[in-house]
Structures are given as structure tokens and as C-alpha cells.
Amino acid sequence: MLKNLFRQCSLTIGAAAAVLILSMSVAKAQSINEIVITDGMNNARPIAIVPFSWSGDTVLPENLSDVIMSNLRRSGKFSPIGLSDMPQFPTRDDEVEYAAWAAKGIDTVVVGSIEPAGRDQYRVSFSLVDVLRAQITGGESKSLVNGQLVLSNDHIIADREKIINSGDFRQYAHIISDIVYESLTGEKGAFLTRIAYIVVRDRDTNPLPFQLAISDYDGANETRLLSSPEPLMSPNWSPDGNKLAYVSFEEKRSQIFIQDIYTTERTRITDYPGINSSPRFSPDGKKLAMVLSKDGNPELYVMDLATKRLERITRNRAIDTEPNWSPDGKSLIFTSERGGKPQIYQVDLATKRTQRVTFDGEMNLGASISPDNSHLIVVNRTQGDYHIARQHRASGDMFVLTKTYLDESPSIAPNGSMIIYSTMHEGKQVLALVSLDGRFKARLPAVDGQIKSPSWSPFLL
Amino acid sequence: MLTNNKFRTLILAAAATSLMACQSGPSEEEIAAEKNREAEAAAAAAQAEQDRIAAERQRVQKAAADKLAAAKQMMENEKQSLVSMQTVYFDFDRSTIKPEFQSVLDKHAAFLVKNPGQNVVIEGHTDSRGTPEYNIALGERRANSVRTYLTNAGVSGSQISVVSYGEEKLAVMGTSDYAMAQNRRGVVVYN
């Protein structure tokens, strides 16, 4: 279903190529695939993803087990072992020699097979095996069902069989990864998600240096939605994952747009004098929070997208900006310098009652709230350094997560496990990942130009 | 001899005759010619007068055009020299106009007051520290303080528009103090 939408996207993007001076294309650029894990593999749980067997005689479109391995590795929670460390290469549960894996310190093994299933069709089966449990039961645990003792196979944590098309390999690898991740962590996986970001090419040599791109969460399948001679900013996903709101300077002033990523159809939402900035969809997708300076200085507004009616939220001579919604949609957190330096405040949308929520550090900026409402994620400035930090909402404790340079634009995965943000590495803006617990850190090197303003999509299935 | 004298007399008579003929008044042709001559002279004089006036007018016009061209050239020159000093720089997280840039802005103001048809865009920029969205707000505040300075100096607000690019159009890439300082700027752009 998702895949079909992507295909539809390619077609309509091609048809809509002639929009103003902006070029739209499905340029399949080099992806930001090569992840560099910079910290945290010691804390990860070992797991074995045994290469899936293939009984056909053609070359498979994609290596399923490789994609699953790299997914689990970059979740920060797992450390998939290499092929040379595997004692055997089973493809089904009943081929697994439990003791051999247990001796290697591996308590979880994923095995699977791929068979031809007709023209362009493949039958993919896999099992997630709990080696320790299987050692106890000998792989033949029995339980009472309707008064009869039957084989329960409770050492098999999950198994599936599905027929897929050649174009669906990556997507299905993400689905298997989600199943493995959720089975073992109790938390929903976020492998079937995407990211939106801004690419800035060399302004001297490129007539359209500012580009809005989306890709799978791991950088694969990059699609350029828009290329412009003037800056693009602040992409933000609609909760249904179909649209992006963003700021464009294509008319030499800031305007807010909403664009459907599948039809590429776009609508200009605001064109007020002054700043049109920081669009953020409400959790129900019906409203857009934004910053406008049409009434004198930057203030928060909420627009009802159906009626286009604007409600002014803040009224203050200082800068108020960077609104973000609380998960229940009843309040906004935002950056304000009403106290002197930028700090995070929260305003109740019904009462307009406003309170300051951050106090640690010289500045706190660009806040968002974790999906479970437990933490605030901010850009924290302490002793002149800008780092991503999390603040526990109940206790107010602030914990700096990153050690990179000039960190900004943090965006949380929909399962709350990981933050993607923009940072400076060797003089270039690149994207980086940090887990919410701060243990896992990785970098996604830019291949051409600067990459900034990442926005993590909601769950797409 | 006689013959000679007679001849002399004859010549004299002839001469006298001819003298008598003069004394008898100009011929019709002579009068017409004279009139023509007078008319031509008058016409020539009138023409000369006309030419003189035209030349004078032309001279005045040319002088005016030259003056205008000179003024225009002067304005262009002035504009060019202003364009070469279109940027003012700010301190970190600040939007106040530093004293060393007041004289530059005074020149822009004087020029804009003198040329009310001339419009400018004030761009506000920041360095790459802080978040892009906060920097849009900060950049606007910098651009606004340039606008306020110019309007206080007598420039009509309708001549000035403002746009903030925040950290989206860095003048100098990199993270050195020099790059940061070069990026915190307001730019007066003539169109």
C-alpha cells in the first residue's frame, strides 16, 4: 500500500514538472545511507540475523537480512553479529542448534527463507527464535489447549510467511525489523517511517541550490520534492504522513506552503508581511501552528486549516517562536525571550495561561515533546555550546544528550526512541542520530551539500 | 587737332549724357531689386534672430539635460558608492546599530531622502549558531533596527521593505569567529 503510493508519487511528480521557476523531480540522488555509529554499541543486545536462504536461480532485488541487520543496528538497541561469528546458517527453527548459539552468547536468532512464488513473486518466511527458552524446552514445549497437550513452540517469539513483489523487498525488510524490534523491546518499531529535510547545494554553482527532500528513515529512496533558487525551511509532516508544511522564500519573502507528497499539489497557506515561519501540524491535522510578525513582532498563531481562520496565541514585545504541540493538542510549547534570553514556555490554548518550563542553561530553543509526554527535547546552550538535551517533564531534570557541534532542529521518531538532528561535522551540516537515553549516537554523512532541518514522519502503516 | 578736341567733347558729352541719365532716378528694375535686397536683409536678420533664439533654447535645454544627466550620474555614482557599503554588522544575539555603522546608514538615509523614488530592501541575517527559526526572528529584528534608524533619519517608511533570511544565506561558510561575525549582518539592497 505504501509502496503503491510511492509509485503514484513518482508519476505525478513527473507530470507536474513545470511549476514557476521551481523544478520538481524524482532525481534519485545519492542517499545518505552510510551511517557512522559514534557511540553506544556496548549497550546494545547481541542478535543474529542469519542470511535468508534463496531457492530460486535469479538475483534477488535486495538483500533482506542486510537491511534488517542495519535497521536493528541503527536502532541502538541491538548489535547484530557478523557472519564469521555465526556457528551455523540455519534457515528454519528446526535447523537451529540452540546450544551452539547459546555458547556464543547469542540468545536471539532470526532465520528465514525466500522461495519463488510465481512471476515477480516471492514467498518470504521467517522465525524469531528465543535460543534460551528453546534450550530449556528442547524446542518442543507443550501446553494444555482445550484439555489436550499440544506443541506450543513458545521459543518462537514471532514467525510470518508472506508473498511479496520484487519492489517490496526493502519495505518488507522494514516490516520484519518492526516485528523483531517490537517483540523484543515491547516498543513499536519506527523502521517504516520517512524523514524530510532540506539540502543546500553550493549557491555559486547551482541555480536551484535549495532543495526539499524526503527519504526512507535510513536515507534510502531519496526523492526531491522541490528545488528553489531561494531558501526553504522548517518541513513538518502532517499526522497522516501525506503532506508536508514548509516555508519557502521563492518570492523573496517568507511564505508557508502545504504540499501533498504523493500528488505534489501544493497550496500557499500564508503570505503576510514580515515573518511567516515555523509551521506545525496539530496532532489531529486540522490546525497549523505558526509564527507571524504581521502585527509588529514574532507571535504565535494557530490557523484552522478548513476555514483559514487565524487565532493569535501570544501577545508580547519579545520574540515568540518555534511552536510545537503537546501530544493532546491542548497546549503549545514555544521559544520566547520574554525573560531576557530564549527559554521554553508552554501556553494553554484555551486559557492562554503561559508558564516557563526550562531554567537550565543560558538558552533553550526549538523544543518538542516526546510522544508519551514524558520528556521535552530541546536545543540547550550551555557555556556557549549548543547541544541536544532532554528534560524530564515531571522532575524538570535536564540531561544533555549530544557532544557534537552546533546542534539544532531535533525531531523525535514516532516511537520516541531516537532523535534526528542537524549538526556541524568537519565544516558541513550533516544529520545525526541520538537515542533518547543518550547512549547511542550516529552520524549520517552528507554526500553533496549541507543537509539540515530534518523532520521525522509519523508511523506510515 | 580739332578732330581730337571734337572727339574729346563727344566723349565728355557722352559722359555728361550718361551723368544726366543717372540723375534722372532709378529704373523700375532697380527699385525692385533694391526692395528685394531689403526684404532679404530683413528676412536674414529675422532668421538670424530666430536661429539665435533656437540656439539659445537648445543651449538651455542641453545645459538642463547635461545637468540632469550629471545629477543622474551623480546619483548613480552615489548609489554605487552606497552599494559598496551596504552592510552593517551586529554583535552576537544583538540587534542594536553599532556606532561605527551610523555614518554609513546616515549616507544611505541622506540619499534616500534626496531620492524619494528610490526603494530599498533591508535584509537581516544571523550567524549559524542557534536554531534556524529563532534566527529568522533575530534577523528580522536586526533588519528592523536598520529600518528604524533610516526612518528616524527622515526616510519614508514606504521606501523600505524588510526581509529576514536568518541563517539561511550565510555570507561566509564555516564556524570561525570571523565567519560568525561576517554573517551577523544587515544589508541595504537597492533595486
| Residue in chain A lying closest to B173 (CA) | A427
Question: Phi and psi at residue A73, in whole multiples of 5°?
Answer: -65, -45
CA angle A329, A370, A261 (to 5 degrees): 70
CA dihedral A138, A139, A140, A143 (to 10 degrees): 110
Distance between CA atoms of A67 and A79, rounded to whole angstroms?
14
pLDDT at position A12 is 38
Helix boundaries (H) for A16-109: 64-74, 98-103
Nearest CB to B140: which of A275, A341, A365? A275
The CA distances from residue A413 to A460, B31, B100, in Å, are 12, 116, 48
pTM, entire model: 0.83
| Local structure of A401: helix, strand or coil | coil
Whether B175 contacts chain A with CB within 8 A: yes
Nearest to A406 among B134, B137, B175 (CB): B175
pLDDT tens track for A236-261: 999 999 999 999 999 999 999 999 99
Widest distance between CA atoms in chain A: 78
| Confidence band, pLDDT 50/70/90 cuts, at residue A16 | very low
Helix (H, G, I), strand (E, B) or coil at A26: coil
The residue length of chain A stands at 461
A411 CB burial (10 A radius; 0-12, 13-18, 19+): buried
Task: pLDDT band for B30, please (50, 70, 90 cuts).
Answer: confident
Q: How many Cα atoms sit within 13 Å of A150 on the Cβ side? A: 6
- Cβ under 8 Å to A: B residues 110-169: 121, 128-134, 136-138, 140-141, 162-166, 168-169
Taking any CB pair shorter than 8 Å as contact, residues of chain A touching chain B are 203, 231, 233-234, 249, 252-254, 274-275, 277-278, 291, 293, 297-298, 319, 321-322, 335, 341-342, 363, 365-366, 379, 381, 386, 405-406, 408-409, 424, 427, 452-453
The answer to whether the CB atoms of A321 and B137 lie below 8 A apart is: yes
∠ CA B71-B77-B81, rounded to 5°: 145
CA A150 – CA A173 distance, rounded (Å): 32
Q: Are B101 and B94 in contact (CB under 8 A)?
A: no
Question: Which among A421, A423, A369, A417 is positioned nearest to A191, based on CA atoms?
Answer: A417
Task: Indicate yes or no: CB of A274 within 8 angstroms of CB of B165.
Answer: no
What one-letter code names the amino acid at A344? I
Give the chain B residue nearest A424 (alpha carbons). Answer: B175
Q: Is the ipTM of this complex over 0.85?
A: yes
Q: Other C-beta atoms within 10 Å of A179: how many?
A: 20
Amino acid at A333: I
**A297: three-class secondary structure by DSSP:** coil
Beta bridge partners of B34: none
The mean of the pLDDT values for chain A is 89
The Cα–Cα gap between A445 and B1 comes to 140
Query: Residue A4 CB: number of other CB atoms within 10 A?
Result: 11
Task: Give the three cell numbers for residue A313.
Answer: 496565541
A207, A200 contact by CB (below 8 A):
no
Lowest mean pLDDT among A117-126, A307-316, B62-71: B62-71
- Identify each DSSP E strand in B8-135 by its residue range: 87-89, 120-125
Q: Per-residue pLDDT averaged across B91-100, rounded?
A: 92
CB contact under 8 A, B141 and A297: yes
Name the residue in chain B with its Cα closest to that of A386.
Answer: B130
Name the residue with higher pLDDT: A6 or A427.
A427
Q: How far apart are CA B96 and CA B108, in angstroms?
A: 17
Q: Cα-flanking dihedrals φ and ψ of residue A106, to 5°?
A: -100, 120
Residue A429: how many other CB atoms lie within 10 Å:
22
Residue A362, H or E segment: none
- For helices A64-74 and A169-185, give the axis angle rounded to 10 degrees: 40
From the list B130, B133, B169, the residue facing A277 with the nearest CB is B133
- H or E stretch covering A288: strand A287-292
Q: What percent of chain A has pLDDT over 90?
A: 75
Gap between the Cα atoms of A170 and A73, Å rounded: 16
Residue whose C-alpha cell reads 564555516 in the numeric block:
B174
Q: For residues B68-97, give the mean pLDDT.
A: 88
pLDDT tens-digit profile of A199-237?
999 888 999 999 999 999 988 889 999 999 999 999 999
Q: By C-alpha distance, which of A433, A445, A405, A410 is closest to B175?
A: A405
Question: What whole-number distance in Å separates Cα of residue A233 and Cα of residue A299?
Answer: 18
User: Going by DSSP bridges, is the β-strand pair A299-304/A310-312 parallel, antiparallel, or unpaired?
Assistant: antiparallel
What per-residue string of b and e applies to B116-131 under the rule 16 or more CB within 10 Å gives b?
Answer: eebebbbbbbbbbbbb
Among B128, B137, B173, whose Cβ lies nearest the Cβ of A275? B137
**pLDDT (tens digit per residue) in B128-187:** 999 999 999 999 999 999 999 999 999 999 999 999 999 999 999 888 899 999 999 999
Name residue A431's beta-bridge partners: A422, A444
Q: Is the pLDDT of residue B23 over 90?
A: no
Show residues of chain A in contact with B168, CB under 8 Å: 231, 233, 249
Q: Does the distance separating the beta carbons of B173 and A427 come in below 8 Å?
A: yes
What is the tens place of the pLDDT at every residue in A128-178? 999 888 888 877 766 666 777 777 788 889 999 999 999 999 999 999 999
